[in-house]
Chains A and B, each alone.
Chain A
Amino acid sequence: MTAPSSLTTRPTIEGRKGSRRRRPANRGPARWILSAPLLVFLALFVAFPIVYGVQSALTSKTLLDPTPTWVGLGNFGAVLTDAGFWHSALFTLLYTVVVTGFELAFGFGLALLFDKDFPGKKFLLSAVILPIMIAPALMGIMFRLLLNSNIGLLPGFLHSIGVDVPLLGAGTVVPMLMGLDVLQWTPFTFLLFHAALQSVPGELHEAAQLDRANYPRFVVSILIPLMVPTIFIAGFLRAIDAFRTFDTINVLTSGGPGDNTTTLSIYIYKILSAGNFGTASAAALIVALIMLPLVPVVVRRITRGAV
């Protein structure tokens, strides 16, 4: 419950908060028993891997030399002085900013189009959000079909109007990858905006009409300010996911040509595939630390209304 709960303050929610305080407190054993599976799972798959990951980041464990030797912060130094790391960090940042921007703008525009009734609305809503359900790796393969110079629909169309560019070549591959991300995840921002717009009270439309505000004015002066919390959360969620993009790029270019499309995730994956576990863990830890400042902001918004 993100945007809707922030836009409509239903008195019942306050009432429930009251009833939450009446919660019986003498159920000690039951709550531990019910939480036991979760706690065991968290210990095994979160606490242990985090400790293990930090530990291996501090050692020189490789495929060829599997006995870990303590190297302290050496791996971190190796990553931070690697030009490839900074190159992929810059590319990841650029990728994140561009796709998030387009996805917010397109998602908002599409949500505005859906804000009135029209024939076939239900079916079109289903059709528009379809890509969210498609595995990004499979989406990547579909893009290969779409963009292949010999059999692809898009190059075929461009050829017929006299443009012959290899779409996955060095000059065009980055916009193509960004386009793929925008195509797949605009439906996600749309869905958040659509849900939020539905909870905007109709009186606001009427009031705006009485004041003779035209539609663009209404959107800019009333809707967008109301939607700011949703815009923020949608932007954060998309940025966090775009920042760790791996599937589509690995399927389409494996980070190439050269290092052109190497995101941080692919950079780490390359180190891991080469068998340098210590360096890979250190790089992963650095990326996780980069993300850390964003986490509390997003988490507080997301968990609101759940507990």
Chain B
Amino acid sequence: MATTNAPPAGTKPPAGTKNAGRPPARARVRTGQSRRRRNAITAWLFALPFVLIFGVFMLGPLLSSFLMSFTDFTSRDIENPFAVGFVGLEQYAALFRNPQFLHSVLNTAYFVVVGIPLTTILALALAVALNNGISRFRTAFRVGFYTPVVTSIVAVAVVWRFILQPDGLLNVILGWVGIAGPDWLNSTTWSMPALIMMAVWRNLGTLMIIFLAGLQAVPGDILEAAEVDGANAWQRFMKITLPMLRPTLLLGTVLLSVGFLQFFEEPFVMTKGGPLDSTLSVSYFTYNQFGFGKYGLASAASYVLFVAIALLSLLQFRALRSKD
């Protein structure tokens, strides 16, 4: 901040600014400040529409949800929200005593832990295939793999429900290779694998595009040099491409995990969380508690999910920073 009237000792005044004819320093500083203030007001005016919407519809609800998770707020309290009782950590305690919630946590973890590696490996294989030696139909392949990403989950879930019938398309195809497929969506064992299969199908394209961008940044001359030195394709991939791709891999998988943690539409449309809660996710549990009018409990459950997602995102930032 330029608050001193005289230039600091040891520095010459800039050329062209002789003391003679110069306005008093104090006045100059004041105009500087008022201009700064005017600029600040302009800047905040530019930010105003966003800040208003953001504050009212995101930040406000985020904080209210946090406060709500310490109360016994129910749908009946909508009339008079300020009269609800503060219950401290009781909602969180109730959450971790609730077998259905614990079940939903395990289901969500199952979904993430199985779904993410599967998607990652398949997407990497496809990205490498697209990056190497394919010049024709490249765009067509890219569009093809990406199509499920742009479509509404609800719409494709309807189709998958049809495909996953006991005598549906998937089991017919499995029958060609001699496998008797299960009644996917009515089996507690197979309902989750079925939803994972669908999620992998749907998210492959996103990850593939991210990996493709990473692959195209691997310098060709290093690969060339390794090839001259006698490294085969597999060695080049394992020793050069994969290490250089690590930040991209990490970014892609973390972004996907954040999405997977919010798993809701698939079980909502396909299984209603069943059979026997085998596909009930944390988001779905929250939605159900909201439906029962238990807003306090729903908020606590959503905050548990939020903390998990925030931790993952921080991991992502950390990973990106260590890239430099």
A binds B: no
B residues with a Cβ closer than 8 A to A are none
